[in-house]
Amino acid sequence: MNNLPLQPLVWFGLESTNRLICEVVTPICEYSVWKDVDSVAYSVLYYNRHTEAPTKEATGFATIDEAKAWAWKHYNEKMQPYVKPDSITDIRNWFKAAKPEPTFNDYMTQLGCHFEEVCEMMAAIGGGNEDICIDLSEKADFIKGLTVPDEYVETQKTFIDNTELLDALCDQIVTATGVAYMMGFDIEGALKEVIRSNNSKMVKGKFEFDANGKIMKPDSYSEPDLTPFVKQGE
């Protein structure tokens, strides 16, 4: 079993006037993106290189990037039996699909979402944290709604200590895992269930965003069921 995360697909564009746009060959499948004849949509043709199964087709993509995103998701699913599960890599790839080129304002939105989750944790443990939750929730909403003009982005970046920020984020991952362990939670199983739920926000390789740039929940969204991962008897 491979311990390394899957590498991004490297597509080869074709210099031609026919319908074939680009293609990529992977250890499992070969994918090609085609432009539909009677519409402006795109489709993906793919087949398993190790079986006699016929070529299959996924259709209805509005852009080439949507078609490529679908192929990437399909490739990930097919490679799971051969790749050691890595939840952090799965999460990073999910964000990469949603925001291929993140901006400073995307960072601000995500930071606000992070504070929002801390607020939810404070509410979950109870103990008279209402004032703290209200204050933190207001700050989270403010940060998510804040838009930094392009001409001020570089100035804002100078206020951030990147090394200390990364250290704090790593420590938060460690301490969050520790809290779950002390409570008897199956944090690994729960995280995979949250990842599954988050993946249901993607429709044909595409996400929808609210006014603040936060990913929205479409009709296909499925809430995570974390009950099986809480300590038995609780």
Confidence (pLDDT) at 87: 84
Q: Where are the beta strands (DSSP E) in the chain?
A: 12-13, 20-25, 29-35, 42-48, 56-61
Kindly report whether the global pTM for this prediction surpasses the value 0.85: no
What's the CA gap between 121 and 186, in Å, rounded? 17
Q: If phi over 0 gives left and psi between -120 and 50 gives alpha, with beta otherwise, what is residue 217? A: beta
Which DSSP state fits 63?
A: S
Confidence (pLDDT) at 99: 87
Question: pLDDT by residue for the chain (234 residues), tens digit each?
Answer: 444 556 788 998 875 557 888 899 988 889 999 998 777 899 999 988 888 778 899 999 999 999 999 999 899 888 877 766 678 888 888 888 888 899 999 999 999 999 999 988 988 888 767 778 888 888 888 888 888 888 988 998 999 999 999 999 999 999 999 999 999 999 999 999 999 998 888 877 778 888 777 788 888 899 999 999 997 544
The strand order across the sheet containing 29-35 reads 12-13, 20-25, 29-35, 42-48, 56-61
**Structure-token pair, residue 225:** 């069921």
- The CA radius of gyration of the chain, in Å to the nearest whole number, is 21
Query: What SS3 state is found at 12?
Result: strand
Confidence (pLDDT) at 233: 46
